[in-house]
Amino acid sequence: MSKFSLAVVAAVIGLTLGVPLPMAHADNDSFVNEAKSLGFQHADESLITTGQSACYFLTRNRDPREITERISRYLVVNDDLARRFLVMSVDQYCPHFRSRIGA
Exposed (0-12), middle (13-18) or buried (19+): which is 17, by Cβ within 10 Å? exposed
The half-sphere exposure of 38 on its side-chain side, counting CA atoms within 13 A, is 21
Q: Please give the model's pTM, rounded to 2 decimal places.
A: 0.74
- Total H helices, total E strands in the chain: 6, 0
12-69 pLDDT tens trace? 333 334 433 444 456 899 999 999 999 999 999 999 999 999 999 999 999 999 999 9
